[in-house]
Amino acid sequence: MNSINSILLLIFCGITSIALLTTLGLLLPGKVERIRETLEGHFVRSFVIGLIVLGLSFAVLALLGYLINLPILQTMASEKVTYLYAVHGLVRVLLTLLLLLIGLSLISISALGLSALSASLGQRIQSTRLAKRANFNGAILLVLSGLTPFLGWFIFTPVAICIGFGSTVQVLFPPKATPKVVN
């Protein structure tokens, strides 16, 4: 019975992931198209940027998780000093909210990048058909590739997330143009 529940959960997660990637492409077509254009010729650059930014982001998340459960704060708060107990509770709440905010922003940026990656894959599959159908087919290909045991779980999915995240970061934070000096 437990394995049936796991299979149903896997199917449900796959269907909802396909729906999310397709819906993002339909709701934010301009943003997804800009990210897809950035992604098209620069997969390696997008991967490296995504890997660096995601690595730093996860380090910040780990640091915040450690600070929430900092033993010194818990020891000071257990002394029943009223103001320390109140400050400890407030600090934990603020750090937890910051942790959730950073985590949700990472997820939303990754979802935008994955939507652009699925649009790119869909256009490579079907260059003559409608763009919306191509986005859907690309989302199906992307999700099913990520659900492939072991290779999809541990290699394809992290690489796809890094590529999507890196291309989104490049669009959201473009490099500043250097001013040209005219003599």
Per-residue pLDDT tens digits of the chain, which is 183 residues long: 788 998 898 889 889 999 999 899 889 999 999 999 998 888 999 999 999 999 999 999 999 888 877 766 666 656 666 666 667 778 888 888 999 999 999 999 999 999 999 988 888 887 655 666 788 888 998 999 988 888 988 999 999 999 999 999 999 988 887 777 776
Place of tokens 């989302």: 139
Q: What are the residues whose beta carbons fall under 8 Å from the beta carbon of 129, sequence distance 6 or more?
A: none
Tokens of 123: 């256009």
Categorise residue 150: left if φ over 0, alpha if ψ from -120 to 50, beta otherwise.
Answer: left
Tokens of 28: 């934010």
pTM: 0.81
